[in-house]
Amino acid sequence: MIFLDAAATTPVRREVIEAMFPFLTNQFGNPSSHHELGEAAAAALAAAREQCATALGAHPEELTFTSGGTEADNLALKGIALARRAADPSLNRVLISAVEHPAIVESADHLRRIHGFEVCVVPVDAQGLVDPDVFAGMLAASGAGSGSAAGEQDGAAAGGGVAVASVMYANNEVGTVQDLSALSAVAAAAGVPLHSDAVQAAGWLPLDVARLGVTALSMSGHKIGAPKGVGLLYVRGGTLYEPLIHGGGQERGTRSGTENVAFAVALGTALAMAESARPSAAGRVTALREGFMRRVLAEIPTAQLTGHPTRRLPNVASFCFPGTSGESVLLELERRGIVCSSGSACAAGADEPSAVLSAMGVERTVAQTALRFSFASDITASELDAAATELAAAVERMLRLG
């Protein structure tokens, strides 16, 4: 089997298992306990937080361990929006890009339905990029907008100041990478906190939060060799945000509940390893991805690349194959020993075409033919050559069958 679905998940690294194992067995203390076992757990938790902070160029106290990227996204968007509006009731708008992960889309909708916020969707171009000038205009806008069926506002805002904005660093379906530094500068000029979902960027793109300029950033462990069930939220010091989970006040009051020390150690280890390997891995895999994309487009004349041709994740190649069914090609590839995806794993099984591709202006019937190929850092040229050969054969067979 050739696994080309690393954007969905990755296996846990052996070094990560070895690092976390003691905290699942003999070093099982609660970090809030004031005895030897508890203090050892607290020290391990602090060390893991320091590892993550180093990778992000952040202060350890600016980081909160979560159960994954979804919780981190929820805590960022809801937490900042609610705290900022509590301090200033005129801050009643939330801006999100049109290509966000469902964790952000649904969090924004929750703020609209339950808390009365106005949600404004920042459009993207045909390659999935947010225009900083359009973003700036929407941050400043206060006129009436036209609501969509979901109750969101497209284009101009419906009134009130912006409590928080969110634009993902790199898209999980098409791989397009935003100019986050430019967008952060625009948000800072408007006095608006900018959050970014960096789940797919971790291990492939620089995560230095000072250089990126973001107010908040989310990531997930299982994309970089840590277990499923652990993530991280960075929030710049001094930024107001409300906790979503209340109780004993762990994580400096931002996320109550006994800390998962083993998984925090796992994330710290995985992130340190990923960041250390990133420059060489990103360069090598980018070259392999370029070759794979060229071959697919040359051997399948009807294939259409989705996302930006160059401003994209090193490990993601995504296409539409008009005249086929994406799911049918997916199954045919699996029969041939190639595992990939028809889009975001978090939206698997949905009958509707990808919201990301729709936002990019891809026709509905074409969007339903999409496939995403995402590579682990140890992918080889021979594996991608074999995948391209099988893909061409699979698409030809599906076109022939009609």
Confidence class for position 401, pLDDT limits 50, 70, 90: confident
226: left (phi over 0), alpha (psi -120 to 50) or beta: beta
CA–CA separation, 183 and 193 (whole Å): 11
What is the model's pLDDT at position 292? 98
What is the model's pLDDT at position 32? 94
Q: Which amino acid is at 98?
A: A
CA–CA separation, 393 and 383 (whole Å): 16
With residues binned 3-state (H G I as helix, E B as strand, rest as coil), the percentages for the chain, rounded to 5, are: 45, 15, 40
The DSSP line for 270-339 is HHHHHHHHHHHHHHHHHHHHHHHHHHHHHH-TT-EE-S-SSSB-TTEEEEE-TTS-HHHHHHHHHHTTEE
Please enumerate in sequence order all residues whose Cβ is within 8 A of that of 298, keeping only pairs 6 or more positions apart, or say none: none
What is the model's pLDDT at position 53? 98
Confidence class for position 148, pLDDT limits 50, 70, 90: very low
What is the model's pLDDT at position 146? 32
Q: Of 128, 142, 66, nearest to 103 (Cα)?
A: 66
What is the model's pLDDT at position 351? 61
CA–CA separation, 365 and 67 (whole Å): 36
What is the model's pLDDT at position 149? 33
What is the model's pLDDT at position 249? 95
In the predicted structure, residue 156 carries a pLDDT above the cut 50 = no
Average pLDDT of the segment spanning 139-155: 49
- Convert the pLDDT of each residue in 21-65 to its tens digit: 999 999 999 999 999 999 999 999 999 999 999 999 999 999 999
Confidence class for position 151, pLDDT limits 50, 70, 90: very low
In the predicted structure, residue 157 carries a pLDDT above the cut 60 = no
Please enumerate in sequence order all residues whose Cβ is within 8 A of that of 84, keeping only pairs 6 or more positions apart, or say none: 91, 163, 164, 193, 240
Average pLDDT of the segment spanning 245-272: 97
Strands (E), 30-150: 63-66, 91-97, 118-122, 146-147
What domains lie within the chain, and their CATH numbers? Answer: 2-9+278-401 (3.90.1150.10), 14-274 (3.40.640.10)
In the predicted structure, residue 158 carries a pLDDT above the cut 60 = no
- Convert the pLDDT of each residue in 348-372 to its tens digit: 555 678 999 999 999 999 999 999 9
- Convert the pLDDT of each residue in 105-133 to its tens digit: 999 999 999 999 999 999 999 999 999 99
Average pLDDT of the segment spanning 90-105: 98
CB-CB contact of 241 with 83 (8 Å): yes
Average pLDDT of the segment spanning 320-339: 95
Whole-model pTM?
Answer: 0.93
Tell me, letter by letter, the H, E, C secondary structure of 119-159: EEEECCCCCCCCCHHHHHHHHHCCCCCEECCCCCEECCCCC
Please enumerate in sequence order all residues whose Cβ is within 8 A of that of 190, keeping only pairs 6 or more positions apart, or say none: 136, 139, 140, 162
Residue of 120, 320, 340, 346 marked active site: 346
Mean pLDDT of the chain: 93
Confidence class for position 144, pLDDT limits 50, 70, 90: very low
Confidence class for position 257, pLDDT limits 50, 70, 90: very high
Provide the percentage of residues in the chain whose pLDDT is more than 70. 93
CA–CA separation, 351 and 345 (whole Å): 13
346 catalytic per annotation:
yes
What is the model's pLDDT at position 352? 78
What is the model's pLDDT at position 159? 56
What is the model's pLDDT at position 350? 54
Q: Which amino acid is at 343?
A: G
- Convert the pLDDT of each residue in 178-225 to its tens digit: 999 999 999 999 999 999 999 999 999 999 999 999 999 999 999 999
